[in-house]
Structures are given as structure tokens and as C-alpha cells.
Amino acid sequence: MSQNMQGKICLITGASLGIGKETALGLARRGAQVVIAGRDADRTRAAADWIGREAGAKQVAFLLADLSSQADVRRLAREFKDKYSRLDVLVNNAGAIFTRRETTADGFERTWALNHLSYFLLTQELLGLLKASAPARIVNVASTMHTGGVIDFDNLQGEKSYGGIRAYSQSKLANVLFTYALARRLEATQITANCLHPGGVATGLGQKTPGALKLLLRLARPFLATAEQGATTSIYLASSADVEGASGMYFAKCKPAHSSAASHDGALQERLWELSLRQIGQGKAADPV
């Protein structure tokens, strides 16, 4: 059961298209004030206008950031805190598959930087505001592909060998590990942290990638769910009274689901947490890339 979101402020990343855009629409329709974050100015502005029209909202705000850049993530958090005095729901949704290995300005492999480190860093940057706004919720969009993921600490950045699906699965496992470790740290607060599998969804994910992956996604598209259907669980976790107080869980189709055995490895969760702190410059030293 979705509750009325009137008076709630929600930030959704990667919301210029696909699941993020539909998540923002669903929350706006429930009365929330939504702020969407995207990389492309024209597309993000157009998405904000569309959401406003479809939801009958007065205004849907947007902020611009390339979330694979740590400087941009920090700027996004700073701009949000400058404009808003509260944050009730953070939906970490931005993500992509890259068939070719690329590195960011920070020196990290782009899949890892965008799909994992942006979740970790943005949440850290906004945690104070979430605590001040409690009860609040953090929703991390993962994927069932995490079940095939391995956190390969000896090849974390794909520097020895690289595969787009392998890098994506690793990053999605990181999303689940991060969620569980975060929920444990938030037990004494009124902030919940959950993650989800949106389903096999026809979105823009991977559409700009060349080669066999793009062809595979194109062939699979008629059999995939729509972005609107894929956003259902994100909207549910962000707004439903049914999950009020529920934390540290993995959901699919708006129901608790089993994540991989690796995702429940407490030592792995803590190792990833400490590594991530170092990679965002908050640990003892940055790890070499």
C-alpha cells in the first residue's frame, strides 16, 4: 500500500530516462516533491517537464551531474543541500553497462565508478540531511545479475582482463553488499536502506554500447518489461507503508527475495566498505588503480 507522499522530498539519480524517470513520475503522482538527477542537460530538463505534466505537479526540479565523477557527485550533494532543507527518500538508480573498459577522471573503471561508488559517495554526502529528516529511506537499485558477480579484489578495475557483463555483475553485487552494510550502520536511526531487482526491463541501459551486447539487448527487447513496470519495486520501497521500518533487505516484484550467498558475507561487506571509503578519499589511503 503506497502512502501519500505529500510534503516528502525525493532525490532520484539516473532519472532522465528509463526506470529512474518512471520512479520519479510514480512518486510525483503520490504527491512527493521530486528532484531528478541526470547527466545530459537537455534530456534531464525534458524529463523533468514530462514528469511535471504527467503528474500534474507544479514543478519538477532537476540537477545535473556525471555520477561517474566524484567531484560531480559531491557538487550534486552540495547543490541539493543548498536548495533543500530535508531529504525523505534517496533513490540511487543511475547505472550502465560498458562493453569497453574506460577509466574516469578519478582513475576508476567507469562501471565501478558509476554503478557502485556513486551510490556509496552520494549516500555518505547526504547522510546528515537524511538523519535530520528521519524517518527517511534509501533505495538502491541493484539487479539479479548480482548473483553472478564476484568482487575480484585482484582485478577490481578490470586492469588485468575486462568483460562488460562481468564488471556490471560485480558492481551490482557491490550494491547489495553496500546496502546490507549500510543498514547495519543505520540500525540506531530511523533511516532504512533496502535494495531491489527491477526485473528484466527494456531501458536505455547498454543501448549506446557497440557490438554483440547491443545486438543481444535489441533482440531481447520485445520480451522485457517496460520501464514503468520496472519502476514498481523502487516506488514501493520509497513510498509503501508496508515496508515502513524494514531495512537491510533485497526485494523483487515488491516482495522480499533471496540475494546471493556472497551478498550475505559480513566480512566481504566490511572489506568492500573500507575499500570504498579509501576510494572516495575518506580512508587511510587511496587504493592504486
Q: In this predicted model, what pLDDT tens digit does every residue of 16-66 receive, in sequence order?
A: 999 999 999 999 999 999 999 999 999 999 999 999 999 997 779 999 999
* pLDDT attached to residue 223: 44
Whether 289 has a pLDDT exceeding 90, the answer reads no
Residue 276, phi-psi category: left (phi > 0), alpha (psi -120 to 50), beta (remainder)? alpha
Domain annotation for the chain: domains and CATH numbers: 9-279 (3.40.50.720)
Known catalytic membership, residue 162:
no
* pLDDT attached to residue 219: 43
Q: In this predicted model, what pLDDT tens digit does every residue of 246-274 receive, in sequence order?
A: 999 999 999 999 999 999 999 999 999 99
* pLDDT attached to residue 210: 53
82 contacts: CB under 8 Å, gap ≥ 6? none
Catalytic entry in 119, 168, 236, 250: 168
Q: In this predicted model, what pLDDT tens digit does every residue of 54-85 receive, in sequence order?
A: 999 777 999 999 999 999 999 999 999 999 99
Give the CA diameter of the chain.
51
Q: CA-to-CA distance for 123 and 119, rounded, in angstroms?
A: 6
Where is 49: in which H helix or E strand? helix 41-55
Where is 140: in which H helix or E strand? strand 136-141
281 contacts: CB under 8 Å, gap ≥ 6? 70
